[in-house]
Structure 1
Amino acid sequence: MTSQTTSRKDHLVIVGNGMAGQRLLEALLAKPGRPKHITVIGEEQAHAYNRILLSPWLAGEMDREALTLRNTDWYHEHGVKLVLGERVETIDRETQRLTTDTGRELTYDRLVLATGSRPTMPPIAGLDANGVLGFRDLDDAQSLIQLTETVASGDPAVVIGGGLLGLEAAEGLRKRGMSVSVVQRSERLMNRQLDTTAAHLLETELIKRGLSIVTGSRLAELTADGDGHVNGCRLEDDRFLPACCVVIAAGITPNSELGQAAGLATRRAIVVDDYLTTSDPAIHALGECCEFQGQTYGLVDPIWHQVDVLAARLAQEDTEGYVDTPTATKLKVSGVSLYAFGPIEASDDHDVLTYHDPQQGDYRRLLLRDNRLEGAVLYGDTTAGPWYFEQSMAERDLGNCRQALLFGPADATPLLAASHDEHDTPAYQEAA
C-alpha cells in the first residue's frame, strides 16, 4: 500500500481518463487561466483512447495503437500528473481528500468526476458464465478479439441489443469469422434513430452480409456447459440460440456510485447544474456520469458542449451555462451511413415527405409542421443531413422549396433565395 499527499494549491483532480476527461484536460491546457496543478486518475491501465474506434479495431480494420489519444510524454510535457490503473474508492468532501484502491491520497481544490458508464446488464440467470461480455471499453474489445482467436470459424455468437454498439460488435465478430445473431427487443433495429423503412433497409443489408437478425424478442436466460462457459441463449418465446460467445450491448448505466457514496445528489446519475457543478460547489461531473435537468448522455456532441462550459468555468472565464440543445445523430453502422434528428415517429399534424431509391439504397424522410422542418431520417446518402439540420434549427419557412426539399440544398436553396428576394424587395421600396 502506498500513500501520497499532494499539497493543495490550485489543484484540480480529474477522475476518469476517458474521452470526456481527456477533452476537458486539453481544453484547459489551452487556456491562460488553467489550474496550476492538474492530476488525472484513470482506472484503466491504458492511456486515454478513442472508444469510438473500438468497433473497427474489433473488426480488424485498424491497429491498437491508432486508438491512443496521447502518450506518457505528452502529459509530462504539459506538466500533468497522470495516474493509471488506480480506482478512486473514497472522497472525503470535508477535507477535500480522495483515496485510491492502492492507498494513494490526494487533496484537491476542484474535483471533476468523469467516470463514464458501463453496459446495462439484464436481470437474468447466467450472466456470470465465461464468454459473456460487454462491449464498452478496451478490455471488452481485447477479450472479444482473443476469444475469436480460440474458436473455430463459423462458431456461433449472439449479440443482445440492436443499437449502434450491438450492430458494430456483431459486424466485428462476423468479420473475424463467427456466425452471429443479433437479438433486439424492439420490432426494429436502432429504433431510437430510425423509422420503420430505414430500419428495414439496414436489416436487409446486414442479413445480406451474413448476420441473423431476431427482432421483437427478449432474452430470458443464458445457459452454460459443465465447465461454466456460455453455450446458448434462451429467449422468452422459448427459442434457443446456441452461442460460444454472448455480447451484452443493451444500453448503458452511468458510473455514479463514487459520487453517491460521497453524498452528492444523484438520481439516475450525478446531478449537476448548468455549470456542471454538483451539490458540492468544489466538485463537478461531466459526460455519461452526470445528469442535467433529468437528462443523461451517451453521444459526444452534448458532452463536448459540456466540456467547453466546464473548461471556461475552471479557467475562471466568463461563460454562459450549459443548455441542452437539439443534436443530430451522425452514425456509421458497418459501412452504412445514417443521419437523424428530431422526432422519429410522425404525429397526426406532421407533413411527411419521403424519397426512396431501392437500387441505390438511399432513403430520406422529412417531418414538417407548418412548412418548418422538425425531423429527418437519412439512410445511405447523408450528405444533405447537416443542411437539413441547419434549416430545422433556424425554424425556416420551407414552403417555397417544398417540392425540391427532398433533393437537398442544390435544388432547394435557389428556391429559398428567390422567396427571400420576393419578400424583401417590397419592404425595401417602401422604406425608401
Structure 2
Amino acid sequence: MSAVVVVGNGIAAHRLVDRLHHHGHRGTVTVLGAEPVAAYNRVLLPSVLDGTLPARALALPGPPDGTVVRLGTRVTGIDRERRLAHASDGTSHPYDHLVLATGARPRIPAVPGLLTEAGRLADGVTPLRTVADCRRVTGGQVAVVGAGVLGVETALALRRGGTRVTLVHPRPYPMNRQLDATAGAILARGLRDHGIRLEPSRQAVAYAPGTLTLDRGQAIGTDSVVVCAGVRPDARIARAAGLAVGTGVVVDDTLTTDDPHIHAIGDCAEEHGTVPGLATTAWDQAERLAATLCGGRARPRASVPVTRLKAPGLDVAAFGPPGPAADVEETVTLQDPARGRYARLELRDQRLVGAVLVGYPQAIAALGALGDQGLPVPTDRLAFLLGAPAERHGPVEMPDDAVLCHCNNVTKRTLADSWRRGARDAAALAAATHATTGCGSCAGAVRDLCAALHAAEPRPEPAVAEAVR
C-alpha cells in the first residue's frame, strides 16, 4: 500500500491517475489541482474561442472511484524529510510518492504596458492557458502576439468567430520552430486568405488600453491582446524544495527526480535535457510512471512526435523534433505552390525521422500511423503523398495503444472500448471520447475503425423455424 499525491490536474495528471487504476495500484491517490474546475483538455481552448465547443465539452472523464481530488488547492511547499505536501487551504498531505504535474506557465514578453507595476496582467491582456482566459478575450478587434502553433490556432479561431485579427510575430513566417521557410510562406498566405492581418518580422514594443504599438511606430487598434509567446515549465515548487531544475524539473529514465520519492511528468518535466511540450509525450510519461509505481516497467514509446495545426481548412503538420533530422539517408521534397501544397520527408532505413507537410491531409494521417507503428514509408513516395492507399497503415492494423486522435490523445483501444459500450458511429464516439472534435483530421480513421468493428462483430445465427403442419 502506498500513498500517491499528484500536484496538478491537467491531462498528464489525469492520465496518470487513470493508468494507476489500470495497473492495479494499491493505496491512496490524491490530486491537488490549483484551478477551481475539474480536469479538462486545454488543447481545445481555441475551439471555445470560436464557439465550436462550449467550455463544458472540454471536461475529461471523472477519476476512478476512490481518488481524492481537491480543486482550487495550490501546493505551497514540500517537506521532503517528513514527506508532506503543504497546501494553500492549510492541509498537509503525506506521501510515499509525490508526482509533480504542474505544467507550464505562459511567457509574457517584456513589453511595456502588458503588465502592471504590481506584475499583474494589464486590462485587456491575457494568455490562453485556461478556460478562464477564454472569457477575457472580448471585443471585435484582437491582436495576437506570437505565431507559434497556439498563436496561429487562436488567430484562426477568433477569425472564424467574426473577430478582426492581427497576428504579430517576430520571425519571418509563422510556426518557424516547426516549419521551414517554404512551408511557412504557404501557411502565411493561407492565414491572409482567411482574413487575418499578418505582421511578420515585427516586434510589439508598447501597449496601452486600446492600442498595441509595433516597432517602427506602427499602432494597431485592439480591444484585447492575446499573448501566445511560448511557455516555460512551472518548476517553482521543485526549485523551492531543492530539487534539480534545468529548463524543467530534471528526471531520469524512470521519471524520478534526485529525490527517489518525487517524480515529474508532462510540461514541467525535463527528460534527457529536453521538455517536449507535447500531449502525446505527457501521456507516454504518465503510462510509464504508473507502471513503475505499480511495480512494473514500461519503455518510452518509439513513435515519431507530431505537431499538428488544429484548424479546419489548413492541413499543416510537422513530424519529429524541430530542426533537420540527424543521419538522414533520403530526403523527398514535393512543391506545388499554385495549390498551396508542400511536403518534405526525411527518411532513414525507409522509415520516417522527420517531415513537414502542408496541404496533404491524407499523407499527414498516413504518416502519423506509420510513425506510431515504426513501419516503412511506401516506396512510391509520390503516390503516397498524393493519397494513394498504402499497405498496413490503416486504423485496423494499428496496435491498440496507437493514438488515432492526437488532439485529444484518444487511442484505438479507447475508441474500440467505447464502440463496444454502445457508441456505434463517429458522432457517438466523438461524444464519448472527444475524438474528431479537434482538427478533425482523424475523422476518416475513426469511421474506418467503426466499419471494421461492425464487420468483425459476430452475427447471431438466424432462427430456424420449424414448420408445424
TM range (shorter): 0.7 to 0.9
Match of 1:98 among 68, 85, 106: 85
Q: Are 1:310 and 2:297 an aligned pair?
A: no
The equivalent of 2:226 in structure 1 is: 247
The equivalent of 1:15 in structure 2 is: 7
Q: CA deviation at 1:186?
A: 1.0
The equivalent of 1:143 in structure 2 is: 136
Q: Are 1:110 and 2:89 an aligned pair?
A: no
Match of 2:306 among 328, 351, 354: 328
Distance 1:92 1:55 in 2: 38
Distance 2:277 2:16 in 1: 16
Q: CA deviation at 1:100?
A: 1.0
Q: CA deviation at 1:179?
A: 1.7
The equivalent of 1:358 in structure 2 is: 338
CA contact (8 A) 1:168 1:334 kept: no
Q: Are 1:130 and 2:119 an aligned pair?
A: no
Amino acid at match of 2:2: D
Q: Are 1:63 and 2:61 an aligned pair?
A: no
Q: Are 1:276 and 2:255 an aligned pair?
A: yes
TM-score (norm 1): 0.81
Distance 1:113 1:98 in 2: 11
- SS in structure 2 of the partner of residue 204 of structure 1: helix
Question: What's the C-alpha RMSD, in Å, of the aligned pairs?
Answer: 2.7
CA contact (8 A) 2:325 2:353 kept: no
| 1:192-226 deviation per Cα after TM superposition (whole angstroms, max 9, x unaligned) | 2222333222222222222100101122222x2xx
Q: CA deviation at 1:238?
A: 2.5
The equivalent of 2:201 in structure 1 is: 216
Amino acid at match of 2:12: A
Distance 1:166 1:44 in 2: 23
Q: CA deviation at 1:104?
A: 1.1
- The structure-2 alpha-carbon separation of the partners of 1:172 and 1:332, relative to structure 1 and needing over 3 Å to count, comes to closer
Amino acid at match of 2:189: T
Q: Are 1:119 and 2:106 an aligned pair?
A: yes
Q: Are 1:42 and 2:22 an aligned pair?
A: no
Distance 2:160 2:381 in 1: 43
CA contact (8 A) 1:133 1:247 kept: yes
Distance 1:397 1:382 in 2: 16
Distance 2:130 2:60 in 1: 14
- The structure-2 alpha-carbon separation of the partners of 1:48 and 1:335, relative to structure 1 and needing over 3 Å to count, comes to farther
- The structure-2 alpha-carbon separation of the partners of 1:88 and 1:130, relative to structure 1 and needing over 3 Å to count, comes to same
Amino acid at match of 2:125: V
CA contact (8 A) 1:167 1:334 kept: no
| 1:143-163 deviation per Cα after TM superposition (whole angstroms, max 9, x unaligned) | 22xxx2xx3xxx432100111
Shifted more, 135-144 versus 262-271: the winner is: 135-144
Q: Are 1:195 and 2:180 an aligned pair?
A: yes
Q: CA deviation at 1:345?
A: 5.5
Query: What fraction of aligned residue pairs are identical, expressed as a percent?
Result: 37
Amino acid at match of 1:108: Y
TM-score (norm 2): 0.75
- SS in structure 2 of the partner of residue 332 of structure 1: coil
Q: CA deviation at 1:324?
A: 7.4
Amino acid at match of 1:27: R
- The structure-2 alpha-carbon separation of the partners of 1:61 and 1:312, relative to structure 1 and needing over 3 Å to count, comes to same
| 1:176-200 deviation per Cα after TM superposition (whole angstroms, max 9, x unaligned) | 4332100011101111222233322
The equivalent of 2:395 in structure 1 is: none
Q: CA deviation at 1:259?
A: 0.6
| 1:311-341 deviation per Cα after TM superposition (whole angstroms, max 9, x unaligned) | 1011111334x47763122332344222222
- The structure-2 alpha-carbon separation of the partners of 1:39 and 1:383, relative to structure 1 and needing over 3 Å to count, comes to same
- The structure-2 alpha-carbon separation of the partners of 1:334 and 1:241, relative to structure 1 and needing over 3 Å to count, comes to farther
CA contact (8 A) 2:186 2:337 kept: no
Match of 1:156 among 141, 152, 158: 141
CA contact (8 A) 2:363 2:384 kept: no
Q: Are 1:25 and 2:5 an aligned pair?
A: no
Amino acid at match of 2:283: W
How many aligned positions are there? 383
The equivalent of 1:4 in structure 2 is: none
Q: CA deviation at 1:240?
A: 1.9
Distance 2:349 2:21 in 1: 46
- SS in structure 2 of the partner of residue 291 of structure 1: strand
Q: Gapped runs of 5+ residues in structure 2?
A: 116-121, 393-469
The equivalent of 1:205 in structure 2 is: 190
